[in-house]
């Protein structure tokens, strides 16, 4: 449009200037013509009066003088006539210009002296008139007096105004016609062919057409079209080759790897991209409060940890809330950017929310309503009607954003978490051909608990628009099936694990999420350097290190963990100065009072335990409260002898798996809450009930004192579990299941 304006504006300007110049000339010509006519008429009238005026002035005949001037009263355009005596005094004046007659005018005395006629435009009050004065002389040439004829010139102005109006209307119409014609020409010769070419490119790429494009011209556009055709063809061939090789490899490989996932996506989805949707974005741009400059961080949380490696492997698009305060600086005009930054493996599309939307949808309904509803932590869920309205609105906003991206054929959408229970329904309303999976990253409660949600029906209905709903563990699937069975008019097929409602089937299945792999690199020089630095910074030489990494969330069992460390030192004081617990704690959802208060409670507990047990410069708990990047967490994993995961309730908990994955030397012990999904798979961890502080404290002692061989064998077992059940297997299984629900 900008370019179009640059082209059209000069044309419009030239036409406007030409028309204005033409208008000025036309007006001048008309004005002169009209005034000339008035002048000629005035002279003629005056000359016709000369004889009668002379007679009147010679005889000082006032009666005839008045009769003469009044005869002008009936004439059109002519305002009137004034008869002056030889001294310049008014003898008679037409009544309608009596004011004119009475006003002193400098030119009358000039004419008495010069005795020559005079015609000119004169201003009188609000109007302008034409005055023609004729001196009247006797036979000897002696001045007897003067006759002045006054003409109205207002019609000249009216005529000029009418001319300008005509010129303006013609000019505007002409400009509109020029703009329309130019837009039409531009559309015909440029926009339409480009639209056709773009559409063809999209269809050809997706394999929806084999015919070549319709642009046959040999001009510049034709050359561009042929270049585009080459690119599209190469892309298609490359994709086909990848797909064939992928099928071959799939038959050979057993262990799930990044490459195998990529292959299965090619084989299963073909030309289709995968569309991920989550609330939390994988890369967030925020202003660093110290430097004042924007930086890119990877937010803490299971969704980002698990999905980012999949997207890196397979490409596609991830649509998420742009929550970073510098996010808008890094997107293109379509709110998209390539991520990871500087690597561009996939596209991140950011959806913007207003403060009110974020407040109601994210903080309110999602995290004060659904989050406590689904976690057994005895925190009461709060359901507010305005939050629900905001939640619906934001789900619709995301649906609109997703719909804009979907390809014409067989789209696949993969939704994450409790923020989007209504999204599938909204997408299917417009695109029923979309195949949709929803993965629920948190626990699903039993029907009695879920029945306390005032919006239970709408939520279940929205979720059942999906073709597949995944949970981490079978128990959550069972809870969901029970919930659908009891709270909604639906049929549950317990053999096939499907919910059938009004003929629509939704498969409910457990897919335990995981981390990318255990086969990563050995500790590098850089790792060792970092560990060294940390040991120096926190005085950790010859110290047994236990660690935890969590968002500061009341479900994570942080208070219980601090109480257990406290109790451990009470019970086993011989470990003072020999053992340290390091907690990396990422502030989370601090805008919610419960989270704000909870962070304060943990601070207080840490402070109390440190005060109670510290000796000299040694203190039992190092509490580091800030966001840590994956790279920053790694050295802590590597140096920690023990990792503690003590969630009161957790869908899976990927920290447990990340710790195991990082322990390439198999030297470490995992203390794991039995209320996490991870406990079902990591059976060789020391399982604890975090509510039992005694048991918890003792488990720390057991972990420290576990024989080296047992530690290694337990860790090796857990590493093997994760090696097999890695995140690529998780994604591969979901995609295989999803695509088999719908034949492409």
Specify the stretch interacting with ligand F6P by CB under 6 A; choose among 295-303, 376-384, 517-525, 608-616.
295-303
Q: Which is nearer to ligand F6P, 280 or 498 (CB)?
A: 280
Q: Does 321 bind ligand F6P (CB under 6 A)?
A: no
Q: Does 303 bind ligand F6P (CB under 6 A)?
A: yes
Say how many residues touch ligand F6P, by CB under 6 A: 12
For residue 584 the two structure tokens come to: 């990396």
CB of 571 to ligand F6P, least distance (A): 34
Q: Which is nearer to ligand F6P, 200 or 595 (CB)?
A: 595
CB of 302 to ligand F6P, least distance (A): 4
Three-state secondary structure call for residue 482: helix
Specify the stretch interacting with ligand F6P by CB under 6 A; choose among 126-134, 197-205, 297-305, 483-491.
297-305
Q: Which is nearer to ligand F6P, 145 or 301 (CB)?
A: 301
CB of 650 to ligand F6P, least distance (A): 8
| x-or-dash string of contact with ligand F6P, 406-445, rule CB under 6 A | -----------x-----------------------xx---
- DSSP per residue over 132-173, as a string? EEEEEE-TTS-EEEEEEEEEE-HHHHHHHHHHHHHHHHHHHH
Three-state secondary structure call for residue 411: coil
Q: Which is nearer to ligand F6P, 213 or 280 (CB)?
A: 280
Residue 363 near residue 384 (C-beta atoms within 8 A) = no
CB of 676 to ligand F6P, least distance (A): 12
Q: What residue ranges in 358-501 does DSSP mark as E strands?
A: 412-416, 435-439, 468-471, 491-493, 498-501
Q: Which is nearer to ligand F6P, 581 or 598 (CB)?
A: 598
Helix 558-571 to helix 593-613 angle, to the nearest 10 degrees? 10
Distance CA 366, CA 350 (A): 19
H-run or E-run covering 223: helix 220-252
Q: Which is nearer to ligand F6P, 467 or 553 (CB)?
A: 553
Q: What residue ranges in 396-443 does DSSP mark as E strands?
A: 412-416, 435-439
Distance CA 11, CA 18 (A): 11
Q: Which is nearer to ligand F6P, 56 or 477 (CB)?
A: 477
CB of 623 to ligand F6P, least distance (A): 20
Distance CA 619, CA 610 (A): 6
Q: Does 281 bind ligand F6P (CB under 6 A)?
A: no
Q: Which of residues 523-562 bind ligand F6P (CB under 6 A)?
A: 551
Q: Does 582 bind ligand F6P (CB under 6 A)?
A: no
Q: Which is nearer to ligand F6P, 262 or 375 (CB)?
A: 375
Three-state secondary structure call for residue 615: strand
Task: Give the one residue of 301, 364, 369, 425 binding ligand F6P; rule: CB under 6 A.
Answer: 301
Indicate the burial class of 57 (C-beta count within 10 angstroms; 0-12, 13-18, 19 or more): buried
Task: Give the one residue of 213, 266, 498, 589 binding ligand F6P; rule: CB under 6 A.
Answer: 589
The 10 Å Cβ neighbour count of residue 136 is 25
CB of 279 to ligand F6P, least distance (A): 6
CB of 349 to ligand F6P, least distance (A): 17
Q: Does 280 bind ligand F6P (CB under 6 A)?
A: yes
Specify the stretch interacting with ligand F6P by CB under 6 A; choose among 120-128, 300-308, 532-540, 562-570.
300-308
Distance of CA 84 to the CA centre of its chain: 84
Distance CA 571, CA 21 (A): 101
CB of 517 to ligand F6P, least distance (A): 20
Residue 213 near residue 220 (C-beta atoms within 8 A) = no
Specify the stretch interacting with ligand F6P by CB under 6 A; choose among 124-132, 296-304, 404-412, 524-532.
296-304
CB of 473 to ligand F6P, least distance (A): 14
Q: Which is nearer to ligand F6P, 417 or 467 (CB)?
A: 417
Specify the stretch interacting with ligand F6P by CB under 6 A; choose among 43-51, 298-306, 487-495, 539-547.
298-306
Distance CA 453, CA 631 (A): 40
CB closest to ligand F6P, residue no: 301
Pick the closest to residue 84 from 47, 109, 51 (CA basis): 109
Q: Does 719 bind ligand F6P (CB under 6 A)?
A: no
CB of 588 to ligand F6P, least distance (A): 5
Q: Which is nearer to ligand F6P, 551 or 634 (CB)?
A: 551
Token pair 């299971």: residue: 302
Q: Which is nearer to ligand F6P, 78 or 652 (CB)?
A: 652
Task: Give the one residue of 101, 145, 302, 690 binding ligand F6P; rule: CB under 6 A.
Answer: 302
Residue 534 near residue 627 (C-beta atoms within 8 A) = no
Distance CA 44, CA 699 (A): 127
CB of 649 to ligand F6P, least distance (A): 12
Task: Give the one residue of 78, 92, 269, 304 binding ligand F6P; rule: CB under 6 A.
Answer: 304
Distance CA 103, CA 218 (A): 82
CB of 557 to ligand F6P, least distance (A): 15
CB of 590 to ligand F6P, least distance (A): 10
The one-character DSSP state at 208 is S
What is each CA distance from 503 to 168, 298, 464, 485, 506, in whole angstroms? Answer: 67, 42, 11, 15, 10
Pairing of β 491-493 and β 498-501: antiparallel
For residue 204 the two structure tokens come to: 């050809």
Q: Does 588 bind ligand F6P (CB under 6 A)?
A: yes
The 10 Å Cβ neighbour count of residue 623 is 20
* Pairs from 174-177 (Cβ < 8 Å, separation ≥ 24): 174/15, 174/19, 175/12, 175/15, 175/16
CB of 679 to ligand F6P, least distance (A): 16
H-run or E-run covering 79: strand 78-85
CB of 303 to ligand F6P, least distance (A): 4
Pick the closest to residue 663 from 728, 721, 582 (CA basis): 721
Q: Which is nearer to ligand F6P, 439 or 569 (CB)?
A: 439
Q: Which is nearer to ligand F6P, 586 or 622 (CB)?
A: 586
454 backbone dihedrals φ, ψ, rounded to 5°? -65, -15
CB of 523 to ligand F6P, least distance (A): 28
Three-state secondary structure call for residue 279: coil
Specify the stretch interacting with ligand F6P by CB under 6 A; choose among 203-211, 302-310, 514-522, 596-604.
302-310
CB of 659 to ligand F6P, least distance (A): 17
Q: Which is nearer to ligand F6P, 45 or 323 (CB)?
A: 323
H-run or E-run covering 227: helix 220-252
For residue 209 the two structure tokens come to: 């057409």
Interface residues with ligand F6P (CB under 6 A) are 279-280, 301-304, 417, 441-442, 551, 588-589
């Amino acid at each position: 449009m900008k370019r179009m304006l640059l082209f059209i504006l000069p044309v419009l300007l030239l036409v406007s200037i030409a028309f204005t110049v033409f208008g000025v000339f036309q007006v001048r010509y008309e004005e002169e013509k009209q005034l000339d006519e008035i002048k000629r008429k005035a002279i003629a009238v005056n000359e016709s009066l000369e004889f009668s005026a002379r007679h009147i002035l010679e005889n000082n005949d006032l009666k005839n003088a008045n009769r003469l001037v009044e005869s002008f009263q009936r004439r059109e355009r002519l305002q009137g006539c004034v008869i002056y005596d030889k001294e310049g005094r008014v003898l008679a004046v037409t009544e309608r210009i009596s004011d004119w007659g009475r006003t002193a005018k400098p030119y009358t005395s000039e004419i008495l002296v010069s005795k020559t006629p005079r015609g000119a435009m004169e201003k009188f009050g609000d109007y302008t008139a034409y005055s023609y004065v004729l001196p009247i002389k006797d036979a000897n040439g002696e001045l007897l007096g003067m006759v002045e004829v006054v003409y109205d010139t207002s019609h000249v102005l009216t005529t000029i105004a009418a001319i300008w109006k005509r010129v303006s209307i013609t000019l505007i119409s002409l400009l509109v016609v020029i703009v329309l014609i130019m837009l039409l020409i531009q559309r015909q010769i440029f926009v339409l062919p480009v639209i056709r070419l773009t559409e063809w490119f999209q269809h050809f790429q997706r394999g929806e057409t084999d015919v070549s494009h319709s642009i046959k011209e040999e001009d510049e556009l034709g050359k561009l079209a042929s270049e585009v055709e080459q690119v599209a063809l190469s892309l298609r061939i490359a994709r086909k080759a990848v797909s064939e090789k992928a099928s071959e490899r799939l038959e050979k490989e057993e262990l799930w790897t990044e490459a195998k996932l990529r292959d299965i996506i090619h084989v299963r989805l073909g030309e289709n991209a995968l569309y991920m949707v989550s609330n939390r974005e994988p890369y967030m741009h925020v202003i660093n409060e110290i430097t004042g400059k924007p930086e890119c961080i990877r937010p803490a949380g299971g969704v980002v940890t698990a999905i980012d490696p999949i997207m890196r492997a397979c490409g596609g698009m991830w649509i998420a809330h742009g929550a970073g305060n510098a996010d808008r600086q890094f997107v293109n005009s379509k709110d998209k950017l390539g991520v990871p930054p500087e690597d561009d493996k996939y596209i991140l599309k950011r959806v913007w929310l207003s403060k009110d939307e974020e407040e109601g949808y994210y903080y309110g309904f999602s995290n004060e309503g659904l989050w406590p509803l689904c976690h057994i932590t005895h925190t009461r869920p709060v359901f507010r009607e305005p939050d629900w309205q905001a939640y619906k609105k934001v789900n619709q906003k995301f649906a609109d954003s997703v719909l804009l991206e979907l390809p014409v054929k067989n789209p696949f959408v993969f939704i994450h978490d409790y923020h989007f229970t209504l999204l599938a329904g909204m997408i299917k309303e417009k695109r029923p051909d979309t195949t949709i999976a929803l993965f629920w990253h948190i626990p699903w409660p039993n029907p009695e608990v879920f029945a306390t949600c005032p919006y239970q029906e709408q939520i279940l209905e929205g979720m059942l628009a999906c073709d597949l709903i995944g949970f981490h563990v079978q128990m959550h699937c069972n809870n969901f099936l029970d919930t659908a069975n009891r709270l909604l008019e639906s049929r549950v097929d317990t053999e096939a694990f499907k919910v059938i409602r009004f003929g629509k089937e939704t498969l409910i299945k457990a897919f335990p999420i995981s981390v990318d792999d255990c086969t990563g690199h050995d500790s590098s020089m850089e790792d060792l350097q970092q560990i060294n630095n940390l040991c120096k910074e926190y005085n950790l030489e010859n110290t047994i290190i236990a660690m935890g990494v969590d968002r500061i969330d009341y479900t994570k069992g942080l208070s219980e963990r601090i109480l257990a460390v406290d109790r451990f030192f009470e019970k086993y004081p011989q470990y003072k100065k020999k053992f340290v617990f390091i907690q990396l704690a990422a502030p989370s959802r601090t805008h919610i009072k419960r989270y704000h208060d909870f962070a304060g409670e943990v601070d207080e507990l840490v402070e109390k335990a440190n005060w109670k047990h510290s000796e000299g410069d040694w203190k039992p708990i190092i509490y580091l409260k800030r966001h840590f990047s994956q790279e920053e967490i790694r050295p802590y994993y590597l140096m920690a002898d023990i990792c503690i995961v003590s969630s009161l309730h957790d869908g899976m908990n990927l920290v447990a798996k990340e710790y195991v994955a990082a322990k390439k030397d198999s030297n470490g012990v995992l203390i794991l809450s039995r209320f996490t999904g991870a406990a079902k798979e990591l059976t060789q961890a020391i399982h604890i009930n975090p509510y039992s502080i005694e048991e918890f404290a003792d488990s720390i002692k057991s972990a420290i004192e576990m024989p080296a061989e047992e530690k290694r064998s337990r860790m090796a077992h857990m590493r093997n579990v994760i090696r097999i059940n890695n995140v690529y297997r998780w994604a591969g299984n979901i995609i295989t299941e999803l695509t088999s629900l719908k034949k492409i």
